[in-house]
Amino acid sequence: MGGGAAYENDLNFKATELRLGLPGTGCTNEEQAVSGAKNNKRPLLETREERGSKEKSDPQHDDQETDPAPKARIVGWPPIRSYRKNSLQTKKAEAEAAAGMYVKVSMDGAPYLRKIDLKVYKGYPELLKALENMFKLTIGEYSEREGYNGSEYAPTYEDKEGDWMLVGDVPWDMFLTSCKKLRIMKGSEARGLGCGV
């Protein structure tokens, strides 16, 4: 897995850089190329700081080296034979594979949550269509540059690191492994997820 470090390198710093100049002039071809890269993220401004503090306090974040010593893995403890541990891990993986990948879907303004199985869909178009049907709304088409402009709503998701991303930013397979939950935001809020302002 790429891990936090990889994401750091690919952050689009230019987008959040404070400069003098007209808005929109920062989006060069270079950035467009970057935004097409696999690991590109478009995090909401506020979540970046949240993420910083969250990582420090999250003791189970495998990617970081912040695990304090008492929680570090000890050889041979608990005393389970590797055969049994391995077979359980295989069982767990198989169970997850068999059981589907259910994520909660919330919509701003809707009274309750829904759950969908991401495994059922082959790609973004199918997923978006399903969401449209489920919540009786139109989401419109995704564009890398402008997200879901032209629609009242934009589908977003929370990834493994707790950041809110626009659905469609990353390749489908990566989305499957990193999506923890979905949230259909009202368009105005969602526009803050764009690379420009």
What does the binding site for other proteins look like in residue numbers (CB under 8 A)? 59-60, 71, 74-85, 87-88, 90-92, 94-96, 98-99
- What is the identity of the amino acid at 44? L
Q: How far is the CB of 115 from other proteins (least distance, A)?
A: 14
Q: How far is the CB of 175 from other proteins (least distance, A)?
A: 22
Question: Is the CB of 20 or the CB of 95 nearer to other proteins?
Answer: 95
Question: Is the CB of 59 or the CB of 196 nearer to other proteins?
Answer: 59
Distance CA 96, CA 10 (A): 30
Q: How far is the CB of 92 from other proteins (least distance, A)?
A: 7
Question: Is the CB of 15 or the CB of 116 nearer to other proteins?
Answer: 116
Exposure string (b/e) for 89-107, b if CB count within 10 Å is 16 or more?
A: eeeeeeeeeeeeeebebeb
Strand order, beta sheet including 181-186: 114-117, 102-107, 181-186, 153-158, 164-166
Question: Cis bond leading into 78, ω under 30°?
Answer: yes
Question: Is the CB of 62 or the CB of 108 nearer to other proteins?
Answer: 62
Distance CA 23, CA 121 (A): 38
Q: How far is the CB of 180 from other proteins (least distance, A)?
A: 18
Q: What are phi and psi of 88, to 5 degrees?
A: -70, -40
Q: How far is the CB of 3 from other proteins (least distance, A)?
A: 21
Question: Is the CB of 5 or the CB of 95 nearer to other proteins?
Answer: 95
- What is the identity of the amino acid at 24? G
